[in-house]
Amino acid sequence: MVKKEIKAVKEESKKRNFLESVEISINLKDVDLSDPKKRINEEIVLPSGRGKELKVALISSEEMKLKAKNADYTFSPEDLSKFVDDKKSFKKLANKIDFFVAESTLMSNIGKNLGVILGPRGKIPRPVPPGQDPTALIENLKKSVRARSRDRRTFHVPIGTREMSDEDLYNNFVTVYRRIVSKLDKGAGNIDSVYIKTTMGKAIKVETGDLND
């Protein structure tokens, strides 16, 4: 049934003059979201990718920077001091970047000085041990989405773009849905409803029963 709704949401929403995302809206039930341990906070690698380019920044020593050819931004430990002194500029930068990766030895400094900016945005860096090549991690992050409920029973997760094939969107949908279900105490029993929509389009309810077997 999910494939039918994916097809319908693309057909029923008129084309826009920008690349629309396709996202799912998940409504939870019987979950105590006042308890942070019950909240959804997942990074999920989409098997068919995001359908658009994501920006990943690396904060590391020069040695690691030389290995990471696929990072969109690279920052040195010295840059951290500049960010601390000019948090306003760093906020603007953080809003442009989808994911951060950092050499593990710098994580304490980043958390202490910039965690107040990165934490609420769900962008605390993924740590990489000194000497390790972060290329594969960065590549996966470029295909990833964040699923975060915070304290709200309804939350949204992008699964791609309108230009992607129905099959690719379906594969991404299934991956996201099943990961979230796996994190709930009652599994699919904690899902009240699921909708799918394009950025500006009408939301269509998705029947997920066949995914719960």
CATH number at residue 198: 3.30.190.20
Model pLDDT for residues 57-114, shown as the tens digit of each residue: 999 999 999 999 899 999 999 998 899 888 899 999 999 999 999 999 999 999 999 9
Asked whether the beta carbons of 137 and 57 are under 8 A apart, the reply is: no
* Separation of alpha carbons 184 and 199, rounded Å: 27
Q: Domain total for the chain?
A: 2
Of the three residues 80, 111, 141, the one that is the final residue of a domain is 141
pLDDT (0 to 100) of residue 17: 81
CATH of the domain at 78: 3.40.50.790
pLDDT (0 to 100) of residue 209: 79
- The structure tokens 């965690």 sit at 115
Nearest Cα neighbor of 83 from 120, 114, 115, 104 is 114
Domain that holds residue 38: 2-51+145-211
45 and 6 assigned to the same domain: yes
Of the three residues 117, 141, 165, the one that is the final residue of a domain is 141
pLDDT (0 to 100) of residue 213: 56
154 and 136 assigned to the same domain: no
pLDDT (0 to 100) of residue 14: 76
Full-model pTM: 0.84
Which whole-number Å values give the CA distances from 40 to 23, 26, 44, 146, in the listed order? 16, 11, 12, 10
What are the residue ranges in the chain where pLDDT is below 50? Answer: none
